[in-house]
């Protein structure tokens, strides 16, 4: 990107989510923005194989920012491996597998995620509301609708790929994290942009702050 080039954003929602999480962010972005929709994974498809299909939405020779939320950040980093002109921006996500928090490491070690079906979360939306930091009102209504529409097979596949992500030699990224994120809480590693009061659902609640960061990213 040249200094005068318009920014191009490719947005990837979080695990099981869709373009609804960007409803507050999209109008604030200064540049061209596209939402990349999740594909249906094959049962035995590896993450690199899946990402190769997702990456088809990003032209190989186009300088751009691939902005991923939560698990979408992992996919953004993997797309950046395949697209040399793409820069990964992580919102409420982690820069490598070593940053996986203790709770998710325990879940991986005990394999409890294989025993509890993902659709169980639909029965306890208030628990999910607390964990993801969703505010009452419009945010909670969006969150409940996303839970209702969550596809179990995709969710089970994505959780497994997240917990067993091989981030060896993954590239650099720009990390935007909330200070009150319970899913990926801030750790000892410095974060480029820490948003005070931001939770895991801050792509909705803190869209102005996130858009300000994205609109200031250097284009060269």
pLDDT at residue 121 in the model: 67
User: What are the C-alpha distances in Å from 48 to residues 41, 53, 107?
Assistant: 11, 9, 23
CA distance 41 to 47: 9
Asked if the structure places residue 166 within a domain, the reply is: yes
Domain of 36, in residue numbers: 8-215
Q: Token pair for residue 150? A: 């969550």
Asked if the structure places residue 19 within a domain, the reply is: yes
pLDDT at residue 148 in the model: 85
Asked if the structure places residue 174 within a domain, the reply is: yes
Asked if the structure places residue 3 within a domain, the reply is: no
**Residue 90's beta-bridge partner residues?**
68, 175
pLDDT at residue 115 in the model: 63
What sign has the CA pseudo-torsion 110, 95, 14, 52?
A: negative
Quick count: other Cβ atoms within 10 Å of Cβ 96?
17
Three-class DSSP labels, 135-164: CCCHHHHHHHHHHHHCCHHHHHHHHHHHHC
Asked if the structure places residue 220 within a domain, the reply is: no
CATH number at residue 46: 3.40.50.1820
Confidence (pTM): 0.92
> pLDDT per position in the chain (220 positions), as tens?
444 468 999 999 998 889 999 999 999 999 999 999 999 999 899 999 999 999 999 999 999 999 999 999 999 999 999 999 999 999 999 999 999 999 899 989 988 777 666 666 666 788 888 989 999 998 899 988 888 888 888 988 999 999 999 999 999 999 999 999 999 999 888 899 999 999 999 999 999 999 999 999 998 7
Within its chain, how far is the Cα of 79 from the centroid?
A: 13
Asked if the structure places residue 169 within a domain, the reply is: yes
Asked if the structure places residue 121 within a domain, the reply is: yes
What is the count of structural domains for the chain? 1
Orientation angle between helical segments 138-149 and 125-132, nearest 10 degrees: 120
CA distance 171 to 146: 30
Strand, coil or helix: 43:
coil
Contact in structure between 88 and 173 (CB atoms under 8 Å): yes
Asked if the structure places residue 2 within a domain, the reply is: no
pLDDT at residue 119 in the model: 64
Q: Token pair for residue 125? A: 């939306």
Outline where DSSP puts E strands in the chain. Answer: 8-12, 32-35, 64-69, 86-91, 173-178, 193-195
């Amino acid at each position: 990107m040249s200094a005068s080039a318009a920014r191009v954003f490719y947005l990837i929602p979080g695990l099981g989510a869709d373009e609804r999480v960007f409803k507050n962010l999209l109008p604030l972005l200064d540049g061209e923005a596209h939402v990349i929709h999740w594909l249906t994974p094959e049962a035995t498809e590896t993450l690199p194989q899946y990402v190769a299909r997702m990456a088809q939405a990003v032209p190989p020779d186009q300088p751009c920012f691939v902005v991923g939320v939560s698990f979408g950040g992992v996919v953004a980093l993997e797309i950046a491996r395949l697209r040399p002109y793409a820069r990964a921006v992580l919102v409420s996500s982690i820069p490598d597998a070593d940053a996986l928090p203790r709770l998710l490491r325990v879940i991986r070690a005990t394999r409890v995620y294989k025993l509890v079906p993902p659709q169980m979360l639909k029965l306890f939306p208030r628990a999910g509301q607390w964990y993801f930091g969703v505010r009452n009102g419009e945010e909670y209504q969006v969150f409940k609708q996303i839970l209702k529409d969550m596809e179990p097979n995709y969710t089970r596949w994505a959780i497994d790929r997240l917990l067993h992500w091989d981030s060896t030699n993954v590239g650099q990224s720009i990390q935007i994290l909330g200070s009150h994120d319970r899913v990926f809480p801030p750790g000892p590693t410095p974060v480029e942009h820490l948003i005070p009061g931001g939770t895991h659902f801050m792509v909705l609640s803190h869209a102005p702050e996130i858009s300000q960061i994205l609109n200031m990213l250097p284009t060269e």
